[in-house]
A = this chain, B = another copy of it.
């Protein structure tokens, strides 16, 4: 049953995201405003019931309410109610998009847990290097942006230092919108240097993460040989659902679990 509940949740979340998108398209909203609003109410009521049910059923509700996913659940459910209570709170309706983050909670427990954690580990290991890298990029952008502000005229779009820095980052990351572009010869020459720099600099984070992944893979293979079990739980094909323990509010129980794996509390009284 836990599995079916998860599937319904995912479908409702995706439906909800599509609804929010369609609402924002004027032509569609004008034509189908009623239908969209009706479906939105269905989804919101479902999530409201789920939210209340979670709070009631667990013994330490505050732990859940102030957890990351608890806050996400709240601010992605409340906006529709608020939009009727307060004028001008329609802006909050966009917060409903955070419902998407709930998919993380559901999916991470099912399928990708191993992969995602390896990815997380690789990023974690190269964290300081990446911070240094971003720091150098930022300093470079500020200095280059200031130089370009001095060289280029306002007509070309370099109206202030912050805007010139914005242009430098657009160039350095090879995005290149073209809304602001250098027009003087000197400006174009320096732009060229920034581009080649950006083109070369991109090698650095890639190199860092590549080396980290290669190292991580080596370690992963060694671990496998050692026969470690820790990360292999869901390789047995056992599904872990999002049901909460009513006592310690831990999630990720097996579908056939009777007691909570954490505190031993009975899951179905």
Contacts and interface: CB of A to CB of B under 8 A. Distances in A.
Complex copy number for this chain: 4
Contact of A160 (B26, B149, B213): B26
A139 interface: yes
Contacts of A132: 112, 115-116, 119
A146 interface: yes
Contacts of A110: none
Contacts of A192: 165-166, 169-170
B146 A131 contact: no
Nearest to A181: B179
What band does the interface of chain A fall in when counting residues whose beta carbon is under 8 Å from B? 35 or more
Contacts of A189: 166
A228 interface: no
Given A112-B131, A211-B217, A94 B149 contact: yes
B195 A169 contact: yes
Interface in A202-259: 202-217
A170 to B, nearest CB: 7
Interface stretch (A34-42, A62-70, A78-86, A97-105): A97-105
A132 B199 CA distance: 15
Contacts of A61: none
A209 B209 contact: no
Nearest to A108: B132
Interface string A154-182: 00000111110110011111111111010
A199 B192 CA distance: 17
Interface stretch (A4-12, A16-24, A45-53, A260-268): A16-24
Contact of A202 (B133, B199, B216): B199
Given A25-B160, A206-B206, 4 more contacts: A24-B161, A26-B159, A169-B196, A203-B208
6 contacts: A21-B162, A104-B139, A166-B192, A170-B195, A210-B213, A211-B216
